[in-house]
A = this chain, B = another copy of it.
């Protein structure tokens, strides 16, 4: 079923980063002098010489040459040329009779392990025209990254997974062009924000070594691919550009997020966090940047908690527990009868159980029970209780521990403290629906002044949009790879030690979380 779209989030984000419109593909309308005995330039040479004045070194693929000539002659030497930038090289990628410059489209996509979101962009304004989302067709090969990498072990599996995600993209494209009543052929560029494994699987590249020490991807900067090489149903000559990654576990989706936050261009120290299976984070500003990824585990994704599920109808996404009465209030997606709990609901459960004094800071039920009934069987759509178990709590604690540990590792590596963080950016669809206070309460997000905490929404998709509409942003993305210091935590003993040390709520050191400490004191749950 199509997911909720993020259009508004994306549009809102545009104020964060103000870019000049300079898209990867564009149209130019030319009125050419017809040839004559005294001006015998070849048809194509005539066009390229004019285009060359603004787009040096421009070339035309063989497959378009006959069409260029035919259209020019049919249209009385007045035609619109679509140009696209492949790295440093401009290419003609389409020709149409007459002036067609008003309709120019690009596609920005966020390819997540679970969800793929496509944004149809109007390249004359840079804005989002419409959005479509769907589950990643690769899910049938495994829910998580590791099982996808395993399935890609042989070339046939790799090919099957490539087809799967391309088919997902093509479904999304069909939906987008249907909504706007435009021709696929008029989508003249595609940009992708995705984690390193998703980029490998999209391009049919062997991802095997991403999950083996020393965790080296086949490529971090795949450059520019022709859409036809992947079978995308857009202009076959269109460039596809994947935002580059920093390493196996900090991919183009994170670089896109940094672009969308603008943190790399501001003097203040900022923290960018994207929590999914991995808790990826980037710390720094215009002077320096560091990044790492802590294997957070899938505790907050659908299907891991006893009654965990994706944010689909019937999923409990908000929970409040009254400290006095122990009474539970909850909201479900679509207002339907509860059938499970999605990620933001799980975070709420854990935070509220702590604040209600039902569990202690070590995450244990004080009365020794093994589960908490969030929704009694009488109110559920399944006829059984929807519960939140001790095992669920332990899993989420591990996830937030990994995030804590990664942040501490980064802070220590640059000699900063929590106080030095001037801005916090929460990325990802998960970050979008999560209750900020609950995330701070359990220590998943740092306890900063709330005005410094900004939700980015789908910042991977927004980064892709920026890369699509701004050559400057694409250049910044490439430069980020050189300026970001990446720490590979998969093999770090220091990280493991911190991970072990972060087993309390919100943190072993409560002073890191002043507002949570205050709440707990107010409720008599801890003493000063």
Quote the shortest CB–CB distance from A162 to chain B (angstroms): 11
Q: How many residues of A contact B (CB 8 A)?
A: 47
Is A497 engaged at the interface, CB distance under 8 Å to the other chain? Answer: no
Q: How many copies of this kind of chain does the complex include?
A: 2
Is A221 engaged at the interface, CB distance under 8 Å to the other chain? Answer: yes
Give chain B residues whose Cβ lies under 8 Å from the Cβ of A203.
62, 65
Is A333 engaged at the interface, CB distance under 8 Å to the other chain? Answer: no
Is A11 engaged at the interface, CB distance under 8 Å to the other chain? Answer: no
Cβ-defined contact, A44 with B218, below 8 A: yes
Give chain B residues whose Cβ lies under 8 Å from the Cβ of A486.
40
Quote the shortest CB–CB distance from A34 to chain B (angstroms): 9
Cβ-defined contact, B223 with A60, below 8 A: yes
By beta carbon, the residue of chain B nearest A223 is: B59
Cβ-defined contact, B65 with A222, below 8 A: yes
Give chain B residues whose Cβ lies under 8 Å from the Cβ of A37.
213-215, 488, 491
How far apart sit A486 and B35, CA to CA, in the bound complex (Å)?
A: 14
Give chain B residues whose Cβ lies under 8 Å from the Cβ of A62.
203-204, 222, 225, 229
Is A217 engaged at the interface, CB distance under 8 Å to the other chain? Answer: yes
Q: A219-276: which have CB < 8 Å to B?
A: 219-225, 229, 245, 247-248
Cβ-defined contact, A57 with B213, below 8 A: no
Quote the shortest CB–CB distance from A239 to chain B (angstroms): 12
Give chain B residues whose Cβ lies under 8 Å from the Cβ of A87.
57, 59, 89
Give chain B residues whose Cβ lies under 8 Å from the Cβ of A57.
87-88
Known A-B contacts A59-B223, A62-B203; the reply to A247 vs B45 at CB < 8 A is no
By beta carbon, the residue of chain B nearest A59 is: B223
Cβ-defined contact, A216 with B40, below 8 A: yes
Which of B35, B60, B245 contacts A214 (CB under 8 A)? B35
> Chain A: interface secondary structure?
loop
Which of B60, B69, B89, B214 contacts A89 (CB under 8 A)? B89
Give chain B residues whose Cβ lies under 8 Å from the Cβ of A66.
204-206, 218
Question: Which has the most chain B C-beta neighbours within 10 Å: A37, A224, A225?
Answer: A37
How far apart sit A213 and B245, CA to CA, in the bound complex (Å)?
A: 55
Is A449 engaged at the interface, CB distance under 8 Å to the other chain? Answer: no
How far apart sit A48 and B223, CA to CA, in the bound complex (Å)?
A: 11
How far apart sit A42 and B247, CA to CA, in the bound complex (Å)?
A: 7
- Proximity bits, A49-69, B CB within 8 Å = 1, else 0: 000000001011011011001
Is A41 engaged at the interface, CB distance under 8 Å to the other chain? Answer: yes
Is A180 engaged at the interface, CB distance under 8 Å to the other chain? Answer: no
Question: Which has the most chain B C-beta neighbours within 10 Å: A40, A59, A223?
Answer: A40
Is A312 engaged at the interface, CB distance under 8 Å to the other chain? Answer: no
Quote the shortest CB–CB distance from A8 to chain B (angstroms): 35
By beta carbon, the residue of chain B nearest A203 is: B62
Q: A316-354: which have CB < 8 Å to B?
A: none
Question: Which has the most chain B C-beta neighbours within 10 Å: A35, A218, A224, A229?
Answer: A218
Is A43 engaged at the interface, CB distance under 8 Å to the other chain? Answer: yes
How far apart sit A60 and B486, CA to CA, in the bound complex (Å)?
A: 24
By beta carbon, the residue of chain B nearest A63 is: B229
Cβ-defined contact, A44 with B224, below 8 A: no
How far apart sit A69 and B203, CA to CA, in the bound complex (Å)?
A: 14
Which of B40, B44, B65 contacts A488 (CB under 8 A)? B40
How far apart sit A247 and B46, CA to CA, in the bound complex (Å)?
A: 12
How far apart sit A206 and B42, CA to CA, in the bound complex (Å)?
A: 12
What would 16 A/B residue contacts be, using CB atoms closer than 8 Å?
Answer: A37-B214, A37-B488, A40-B248, A42-B217, A42-B219, A43-B218, A45-B220, A59-B87, A59-B223, A59-B224, A62-B203, A62-B222, A62-B225, A63-B229, A66-B204, A88-B88
Q: Which 10 A-B pairs have the closest CB atoms?
A: A44-B219, A42-B220, A42-B219, A35-B216, A42-B217, A37-B214, A69-B218, A40-B247, A57-B88, A59-B223
